[in-house]
Amino acid sequence: MHLIWSNLIPNLVCLWTGNFKDLCHNNTGYVLAPTVWEAIGEATANAGNTIPAAFGSRVPNIASEKAQMIAETYSIWTLYIAPTLLKGRFTNPQYYKHFIKLVRLLNLCLQFEITQDQVDELEMGFNSWVEKYEELYYNHDPMCVSTCPLTIHALLHIAPTIRAMAPVWAYWAFPMEHYCGDLLCHIKSRRFPYPNINKYVTSYPLHALTPPKGSTTLSISYWKILTATLATRFSKPASLIRKLIPQDIEFIQYGRMCHLEGGDTIQARGMVSLKSDSRDMSYMQYQLEVDKFAHQRCQTPVFELQDFFGQVLRFLVVQVPASPKDDIEADSYIYAIIKQAKILDTATNNHKVDYYKELGPTEFVDLDQVKCLVGQIKDCGKWAIIDRSQLITQVHNVD
């Protein structure tokens, strides 16, 4: 896959900026105006503050700091940043559509599991992409034959290689490098490294809560939201829950949560401040059950899981006391206090990226419903959400 990040993508960038070898790129339709490319470079650099470190290294300004780009940063830029920042920038939209098809194929390559049908799809997809590439950039002009280096032909061998050897993660170095880097973040003592790695506190088997840690009481508004959430959970009146959990009770709170088994670490912005040079790791995807007939009073409720996005403020440990007469057992629950992102209408959004301009109401979300960390890119006055968990569907074929 290094042939893509170290060769194919840099070559595309050279074409888009009119700097590919000594060719004449006038009136080609794929060259971006210098001011447009400078704006893309600046937005790329700014995105480093709002795309968490779990996504990979900070991507430099691709326009003015191209020499600092490496295989990993080209990968991050291609998969997470470029689908948003290149949209609407080409004078001829077919070049953007062609690039998005490449992003979708690359994400299929990077799946942990891949079916034979998907390998067949990759083979046909790369064949089609290379043919279209020759039409768009080579244009069957002998003077432009240098636009078809070996790395373009190499794309045709990816699917047969997967069919013969397994998915690329089985023989690609990036996952192991990232895993070792993640372990190093938790080691603070050379003498006792293992206690550092294992120093987590969790009440849930797949999550770990880590410092900063403290205690707090809830404001009346937060207390009402929490008790209403618990009332829904236990199917009990809110008045009963408020008697079990009075407003002046103290709760244990944490500032970070880590998904175990190689998952993301999420920061709670209410307890972990964002420094000027740090990367925002407080936005995440979560799921809630929503009644699809909520606006029809006479209709029997039918609940379905829906995806939401928001900024976590803190993680709260809630101790519910036993109440045998009300059929409530003593137990501990962990909730993320989240400011929900008010997603804009995506009906006309071809590449399925969610956008928002502001945060909305506060919600208490059970930790099991927190799915993953997300990043953000500011573009045209609004924020685009970069969600790795569904990237293939977000950058699907836009024909």
CB 59 within 8 A of CB 117: no
pLDDT recorded at residue 254: 94
DSSP string, 31-77: PPPHHHHHHHHHHHHHHTTTS-GGG-SPP--TTT-GGG--HHHHHHI
Report angle CA 226, 213, 187 to the nearest 5 degrees: 135
Domain membership flag for residue 106: yes
Shared domain for 104 and 219, answered yes or no, is: no
Alpha-carbon separation of residue 151 from 60, 98, 128, 324 (angstroms)? 24, 17, 15, 69
Helix (H) or strand (E) holding 30: none
Q: What burial class does residue 227 get, using C-beta atoms within 10 Å of its C-beta: 0-12 exposed, 13-18 middle, 19+ buried?
A: buried
Domain membership flag for residue 275: yes
Q: What is the pLDDT of residues 254-274, one digit of tens each?
A: 999 988 766 788 999 999 998
pLDDT recorded at residue 346: 58
Tokens of 164: 């013969």
With left for phi above 0 and alpha for psi between -120 and 50, is residue 257 left, alpha or beta?
beta
Query: How many domains is the chain partitioned into structurally?
Result: 2
Shared domain for 163 and 218, answered yes or no, is: no
Shared domain for 235 and 162, answered yes or no, is: no
Q: Which of 139, 159, 175 is the last residue of a domain?
A: 175
Single-letter code of the amino acid located at 299? Q
Closest CA to 387 of 2, 1, 61, 107: 107
Least confident residue range of 32-36, 184-188, 273-277: 184-188
Shared domain for 127 and 204, answered yes or no, is: no
Q: Measure the CA–CA gap between 6 and 13, rounded to whole angstroms.
A: 11
Shared domain for 294 and 354, answered yes or no, is: yes
Question: Has residue 37 got a pLDDT over 50?
Answer: yes
Shared domain for 137 and 263, answered yes or no, is: no
Domain membership flag for residue 186: no
Domain membership flag for residue 171: yes
Shared domain for 247 and 159, answered yes or no, is: no
Q: What is the pLDDT of residues 175-188, one digit of tens each?
A: 556 556 656 666 66
Q: Residue 306 pairs with which residues in a beta bridge?
A: 288
Single-letter code of the amino acid located at 357? K
- CB proximity list for 73: less than 8 A, separation 6 or greater: 56, 57, 58, 59, 60
Shared domain for 168 and 220, answered yes or no, is: no
Domain membership flag for residue 182: no
Tell me the whole-structure pTM to 2 decimals. 0.70
Q: Residue 383 pairs with which residues in a beta bridge?
A: 356, 378
Domain membership flag for residue 193: no
**Could you list the residue range(s) of the whole structural domain that residue 300 is in?**
200-394
Q: What is the pLDDT of residues 210-225, one digit of tens each?
A: 889 999 999 999 999 9
Shared domain for 282 and 359, answered yes or no, is: yes
pLDDT recorded at residue 336: 96
Q: What is the pLDDT of residues 307-338, one digit of tens each?
A: 999 999 999 999 999 898 988 988 889 999 99
Tally the C-alpha atoms within 13 A of residue 94's C-alpha that lie toward its C-beta: 8
**Mean pLDDT across 88-104:** 94
Query: What spatial distance separates the first Cα and last Cα of the chain, rounded to whole Å?
Result: 26
pLDDT recorded at residue 294: 73
Shared domain for 46 and 143, answered yes or no, is: yes
Top-ranked range on mean pLDDT: pick from 127-136, 137-146, 182-191: 127-136
Shared domain for 9 and 117, answered yes or no, is: yes
Shared domain for 98 and 212, answered yes or no, is: no
Question: Has residue 203 got a pLDDT over 80?
Answer: no
Domain membership flag for residue 191: no
**Mean pLDDT across 162-190:** 70
Domain membership flag for residue 16: yes
Q: Measure the CA–CA gap between 363 and 90, rounded to whole angstroms.
A: 40
With left for phi above 0 and alpha for psi between -120 and 50, is residue 214 left, alpha or beta?
beta
